[in-house]
Structure 1
């Protein structure tokens, strides 16, 4: 019913019942005021919901930024960060009291009861290691501890030191009991390092929480690993840039995250040391104990599954363009942008025409 007709009906009925013009005018004024105020409230609420709530925290050894739109956006973002924090506490191998540290401390001694999320994280990593020819291995802990990138200055271990710990790196030895939520490393000195899986897993969980809180438009950037919900509030897709590995302020490629919602990047520019003019990054080949000699500077995976994206990007960094892209073809729905140390940018066929390159392109 039109507002004018509705108010006219109220006016007529009041006239017939009371015959008091003054009272009728007061009633009409109140009705109109309520309608105006109600309309104004919903207009204000709509405009207010279009404003973002943004928060940044340092967790999981990286800077995480969440931007969300809509009602309850602040509450949703804080709940998502609580989940990041919870999983960080479980997986932080630099914290002697974390559950991952407890597993490492009990290597060769006994099983450790852990959180079900940690069991699932480890299980998925082991399954994917088999499928990716061992290029990703969560038992790489003895090697990452030996290298200590970011913690030991420009220290580079000797081949003898690397050979001494390589026998401890073998994901096939990890024993997982899903029923009792236990994990066991059978050799003393074995160590888990979930750096290639924990952040992606946590981002998936954070996204779930944002959606449960009713968020339909959001962007999560966890140290270059990006995940989105829906589109921007204006209906346009989220456009994301892939960092130039040799220029922290530069972008090598740009694309809209449609129909994908995830971009995961592994690169040699985030954590590394320079020793005698040579770059040594934190990504290690589990088979050799050294940095991969694949000529790759960064790998960005585009898909709809954040948890697997980190595993793929790390594995392709180790395998290199030829073996890595051949392996990726076995997993439909995953696309890649590979930036080589010589500046070439290689894009998989599924991204053809969807990526704007700012550098020189290579074969697809």
Structure 2
């Protein structure tokens, strides 16, 4: 097994253990069940090519990552997959035999499984790549850089003008890209996970692509976005996803307990409510030119 796969599996197992199972990289069949996996994306693309895509283009139906790109009706989806809106719990619970981090074991340079699980590392792979690039830069004596892969970032050193890298933390808006906070980074990585870009609507319900492995269902709480800043892009990547699964209270408590610099944004009847951990406020004290959310 390539060393990269072992590194990713080891990191995933630690996140799963630390969170009592709230993090899981074996959920691919569940993502397909809820129409967020690659199988559903292929079906949407096929429907668009055959003229059954309700007038939408492939680009509108499927984003670069092979996932639903925008909210909308799932009527264009074809195939024989079970419809989650009309099926009881039996079909979903049957997937438990094909998921679960307890079935994944690392034996030296081998990745072993004792059940028919499929492993995918999308929630930490981008961060891992960034960390590898940063290590390569360091080996070549490059100290100042800003690396971005699929929205995850790692800032090394400083900008050419000697100032720190200033990164905008995006507000969780469906139809706009607006920074709600600016943070200055030196030798740190940042990742934001949210439910506001990849989701779909079915029978009046908003379904997030973020799956809680404890229920095998999309998250239903009010946490809209979670940002984590650490010295490792892979850790920030995985932890931001983990906090989104845990939700506003459990996620905040987890972040405080592990001394994470985290910013959580929840939906409220009057708009958004932002909550930051003590570690975040200590590292990134708010000044008038950093806070853009009106708090």
TM > 0.5 fold call: yes
Measured against aligned partners, the alpha-carbon deviations of 1:261-316 in whole angstroms (never above 9, x if no partner) come to 11111111232222234332221000111111221111110111112112211111
* Cα distance in 2 between the residues matched to 1:267 and 1:232: 28
Q: Does residue 234 of structure 1 match 2:161?
A: yes
**TM-score, structure 1 as length reference:** 0.62
RMSD: 2.0
* Alignment match of 2:18 (pick from 118, 131, 136): 131
Q: Does residue 250 of structure 1 match 2:181?
A: no
Distance 1:253 1:161, change over 3 A: farther
* Cα distance in 2 between the residues matched to 1:127 and 1:331: 13
- Structure showing the higher helix proportion among its residues: 1
Q: Following superposition of structure 1 onto structure 2, how do residues 1-364 of structure 1 map, counting pairs within 5 Å?
A: 114-149=1-36, 151=41, 153=44, 154=74, 157=84, 158=87, 159-178=89-108, 181-188=109-116, 190-246=117-173, 247-258=175-186, 261-332=188-259, 334-342=260-268, 343-352=272-281, 354-355=285-286, 356-359=290-293, 361=295
The count of residues paired between Structure 1 and Structure 2 equals 243
The answer on whether the counterparts of 2:255 and 2:277 sit within 8 Å (CA) in structure 1 is no
* Deviation at residue 194 of structure 1 after TM alignment: 0.9
**Secondary structure at the counterpart of residue 344 of structure 1:** strand
The answer on whether the counterparts of 1:256 and 1:354 sit within 8 Å (CA) in structure 2 is no
Higher relative contact order (CA 8 A, sep 6+): 2
Residue of structure 2 in register with 1:39 after alignment: none
Point out 4+ residue stretches in structure 1 off by more than 3 angstroms. Answer: none
* Cα distance in 1 between the residues matched to 2:31 and 2:118: 9
The answer on whether the counterparts of 2:256 and 2:278 sit within 8 Å (CA) in structure 1 is no
Specify every segment of 5 or more residues in structure 2 that has no aligned partner in the other structure, as ranges. 45-73, 78-82
* Cα distance in 2 between the residues matched to 1:277 and 1:251: 29
The answer on whether the counterparts of 2:126 and 2:150 sit within 8 Å (CA) in structure 1 is no
* Cα distance in 2 between the residues matched to 1:144 and 1:250: 29
* Deviation at residue 165 of structure 1 after TM alignment: 0.5
* Deviation at residue 117 of structure 1 after TM alignment: 1.6
**Secondary structure at the counterpart of residue 248 of structure 1:** coil
Structure whose CA Rg is larger: 1
Specify every segment of 5 or more residues in structure 1 that has no aligned partner in the other structure, as ranges. 1-113
Measured against aligned partners, the alpha-carbon deviations of 1:78-135 in whole angstroms (never above 9, x if no partner) come to xxxxxxxxxxxxxxxxxxxxxxxxxxxxxxxxxxxx1012112102211221111211
